[in-house]
Amino acid sequence: MEKGTFKIKVGLAEMLKGGVIMDVTNAKQASIAEKAGAVAVMALEKIPADIRRDGGISRMSNPKMICEIRDKVSIPVMAKCRIGHFAEAQILEALEIDFIDESEVLTPADNSYHVDKNKFKVPFVCGARNLSEALRRIDEGAAMIRTKGEAGSGNIVEAVKHMRAITSEINSLSLMSNEDLMKFSSDNNAPIDLLQETKKIGRLPVPNFSAGGIATPADASLMMQLGAESLFVGSGIFKSEDPEMRANAIVEATTYYDDPKKLSEISSGLKDAMEGLDISEIPEKDLLQNRGW
Amino acid sequence: MKVGILAIQGDFYLHKKSFDIIGVETLFVRKFSDFKEIDSLIIPGGESTTMSLLLSKYKLDEVLYDFSLDHTVFGICAGSILISKNSNDKRIKNLNIMQFDSVRNAWGNQINSFSDYINIKESLNIDDFYTTFIRAPKFINVDPSCEILASYNSEPVLIKNKRHLAASFHPEMGDDTRLLEYFLKFANE
């Protein structure tokens, strides 16, 4: 019998496809998310919009709070560790969390190394802005990639940029010779074997989800049509005026993403979405997406 | 033969990939009219709570049940939970298509998900079947109307009745398509 193999890790990511993973900060929100049809919840102490507002150092959530959420719901529970903070990751694995997000939303703990995710039995998801960054994370053992977007902004523009970048780079591989691939690999610091595999299969070697800025059912549809296989919604739900209805609407929009008539019904009757930020209003040093490399 | 794959949520693309390899036409099923175009149905793995919610909301549960009265339906992992009689969980509205009860996540959290060989009944001619269980359910209170086709550690993991199949593991993961080919044969009987 085998446990914790790469195939088993990717297996859970496959099961989460076509669904919505919601950020929750307590057991009550977790229950709302589950009832609204979330495929998983991300347990964290503060949603990204509040992390951005409050500043300071943002760390792994308190294990007690993570366990309260885990005990409340039957769907998979995810939790975040800081970039490079393998001790936080070890604690999350000991808690038997279903998926660990090595996340730029928290303050990075290491300026040179990401966590060696191959050493863990629990699967990891990591953010990426482009193909090379995605492949570096997969090389380290990530079983799922998500666009970074700009967490807590309520603005979809960065998630769109990152998803389009990954897709167009994958498409451009199909025309490359082996020499081109080697040059691309050294220019962009992308693992050559994973580049070759990506070229062969025409997509990332692991599921490719989207995160960072999704706030409406239309945002969900947009990201799914651009090639996201599932969605993470952070601040978009519990920063809105109608979390329950909005959560449910985004779940339905993810299933019926290519049916504009259904989407119009789903979007009707929602109250105001979260307030968003124009990305140009965020000082460069405060952009969460630039954490990690 | 056109196989419908319920595409509400879950790993429906992996199923399509497997049937593409076998060379069978498939259709992603999301609305009433899709049921008219298919000869059998796969309910894939995913999250049973999410699928149950959307099936009820869009009244697809009733159409699916009616379809199951004279067509083959194969429920896999989350799909097997939906197809079962009862999961003793108010978050799930079971379809009650097969007469057994399912216990969700009965093998543990993701860290306990595993791959191993399972024992499949000889008459199926599928030896050495290596497969993967992801946060899998267990099947209990199996009614005599059902036959246990495979087990693992004395637990039933593949069950059939006259027309339907349920598996707690994932025959669509990996390259071994033998069990999905058995499903096609069974659906054609």
Single-letter amino acid code for the residue at B29: V
Please report residues of A whose CB lies closer than 8 A to that of B116.
1-2
Say which residues have a Cβ less than 8 Å from residue B98's Cβ, sequence separation at least 6.
Answer: B75, B83, B84, B85, B146, B159, B161, B164, B166
* A8 in contact with chain B, both atoms CB, cutoff 8 A: yes
The domain segmentation of chain B, as residue ranges, is 2-188
Q: Residue B20 pLDDT > 90, yes or no?
A: yes
Is the confidence at residue A272, as pLDDT, over 90? no
Name the pTM for this structure.
0.96
CA distance B147 to chain A (A): 26
Which pLDDT value is given to residue A281? 85
Backbone angles phi, psi at A113, to 5 degrees: -125, 135
For an interface test with B, the pick among A74, A90, A91, A258 (most B C-beta atoms closer than 10 Å) comes out as A74
Place of tokens 């993403």: A257
User: Does residue B164 have an active-site annotation?
Assistant: no
Integer Cα distance of A179 and A242 in angstroms: 53
C-alpha B167/C-alpha A272 separation (Å) is: 43
Ramachandran assignment for A201, one of left (phi > 0), alpha (psi -120 to 50 degrees), beta (any other): alpha
Confidence (pLDDT) at A210: 96
Work out the average pLDDT over B22-47: 97
Measured between CA atoms, the residue of chain A closest to residue B173 is: A11
Convert the pLDDT of each residue in A76-120 to its tens digit: 999 999 999 999 999 999 999 999 999 999 999 999 999 999 999
Report how far residue A288's alpha carbon sits from residue A252's, in angstroms, rounded to the nearest whole number.
29
Amino acid found at B92 = I
| Predicted pLDDT of residue A284 | 85
pLDDT at B189 over 90: no
What percent helix, strand, coil does chain B show, rounded to 5? 30, 30, 40
On average, the pLDDT of chain A sits at: 95
Reply yes or no on whether B146 is catalytic.
no
A262-290 per-residue burial string, b: 16 or more CB within 10 A, e: under 16: bbeebbeebeebbebbeeeebeeeebbbe
User: Tens of pLDDT along B59-101?
Assistant: 999 999 999 999 999 999 999 999 999 999 999 999 999 999 9
Subunit contact A19:B47, Cβ cutoff 8 A = yes
**Above 90 in pLDDT, residue A224?**
yes
Closest CA–CA distance from residue A162 to any residue of chain B (Å)? 23
Query: Smallest Cα–Cα separation from B3: which of B38, B44, B45, B43?
Result: B38
pLDDT at B6 over 90: yes
B37-57 pLDDT, tens digit per residue, is: 999 999 999 999 999 999 999
A76 and B174: CB-CB below 8 Å? no
- Residues in chain B within 8 Å Cβ distance of A1: 114-116
Is the domain B2-188 a CATH 3.40.50.2000 member? Answer: no
Residues of B in contact with A74 (CB under 8 A): 49, 89, 91, 104-105
**CB-based contacts of B16, cutoff 8 Å, min separation 6:** B5, B26, B28
Lowest mean pLDDT among A46-60, B13-27, B125-139, B161-175: A46-60
CB contact A50 to B (< 8 Å): no
| Host H or E run for residue A250 | helix A243-255
- Mean pLDDT, residues A127-138: 98
A65: exposed, middle or buried (Cβ count in 10 Å: 0-12, 13-18, 19+): middle
- Could you tell me which residues come within 8 angstroms of residue B90 by beta carbon, excluding any fewer than 6 positions away? none
DSSP, residue by residue, A134-203: HHHHHHTT-SEEEE---TTS--THHHHHHHHHHHHHHHHHTT--HHHHHHHHHHHT--HHHHHHHHHHTS
Q: Inter-chain contact B114–A2, Cβ cutoff 8 Å?
A: yes
DSSP secondary-structure letter at A288?
G
Question: Which of B9, B107, B112 has the highest number of chain A CBs within 10 A, making it the mutation to test binding with A?
Answer: B9
pLDDT of residue A273: 84
Choose among A8, A34, A36: nearest Cβ to B132: A8
Contacts of B89 in chain A (CB under 8 A): 74
Q: Is the separation of the CB atoms in B43 and B6 below 8 Å?
A: yes
A52 vs A221, which has greater pLDDT? A221
pLDDT band at A48 (very low <50, low <70, confident <90, very high): confident
Choose from A1, A6, A15 for mutation: most chain B CBs within 10 A.
A15
Q: How confident is the model at residue A248 (pLDDT cuts 50, 70, 90)?
A: very high
